Amino acid sequence: MQLKKLMIEVMVFFVLGCFFCACGKTKDQTRKTTKDANKEIMIGGDNYPPFNYTDENGNMAGIDVEFAREAFHRMGYKPVFVNIDWENKKNLVEQGKIDCIWACFSVTGRENDYHWAGPYMLSHEVVAVNNSSKIYKLSDLKNKVIAVQSTTKPEELFLKQTDPKIPKVKQVYSMENRELIYTSLSRGYVDAIAAHEISIRQYMSDYEAKYRILDEDILETGIGVAFAKNDQRGIEKELSKTLKAMVKDGSAKKILKKYDPDVLPIEVAREIYEETEGLDPLSKMSDVDIQIWLEGDIYLNVDKMSTAAGLEIRMPLTDRRIFDIASRMPSRYKVNEEQNKVAFRTAAAKVLPEEIAFRKKLGFIVPIRIWMADDRYNQDVRRLFNSEIAEKFFDVEAINEIFADYVGGNSDNWRKVWTIYTFLVWYEEYFIKR
pLDDT of amino acid 26: 39
> Which domains, and CATH codes, for the chain?
39-118+223-239 (3.40.190.10), 122-222 (3.40.190.10), 316-348 (no CATH), 368-432 (no CATH)
- Rounded distance, CA 250 to CA 215, Å? 30
CB-based contacts of 111, cutoff 8 Å, min separation 6:
none
pLDDT digits (tens, 9 = 90+) for 388-420: 999 999 999 999 999 999 998 877 788 899 999
**What dihedral angle (degrees, nearest 10) is formed by the CA atoms of 214, 218, 222, 224?**
-100
Residue 247 main-chain phi, psi, to 5 deg: -65, -45
Cα 373-374-378 angle, rounded to 5 deg: 85
Q: Coil, helix or strand for 160?
A: helix
Q: Which of 118, 131, 81, 121 is nearest to 226 (CA)?
A: 118
| 83 membership: H or E segment, kind and range | strand 77-83
pLDDT of 248-268, one tens digit each? 888 888 888 777 545 444 455
β-pair partners for 223: 106, 121
Give the tens place of pLDDT for each residue, 218-251. Answer: 988 888 999 999 999 999 999 999 998 888 888 8
Amino acid at 120: Y
- Helices and strands in the chain, H and E counts: 20, 11
Type and span of the H or E element at 102: strand 100-106
Show pLDDT as tens, one digit a residue, over the chain (434 residues): 444 333 333 333 333 233 333 333 333 343 334 444 468 999 999 888 888 888 877 888 899 999 999 999 999 999 999 989 888 999 999 999 999 999 889 888 888 899 999 888 888 889 999 999 999 999 999 999 999 988 888 898 999 888 888 999 999 999 887 788 999 999 899 999 999 888 898 888 888 888 999 988 898 888 899 999 999 999 999 999 999 888 888 888 888 877 754 544 445 566 666 777 778 878 877 887 787 777 767 777 788 888 888 888 888 888 889 888 888 888 888 888 778 888 889 999 999 998 898 887 776 667 888 888 888 889 999 999 999 999 999 999 999 999 999 998 877 788 899 999 999 999 999 888 87
Helix ranges (H only) for 162-280 are 178-186, 197-207, 235-248, 251-257, 264-268, 270-274
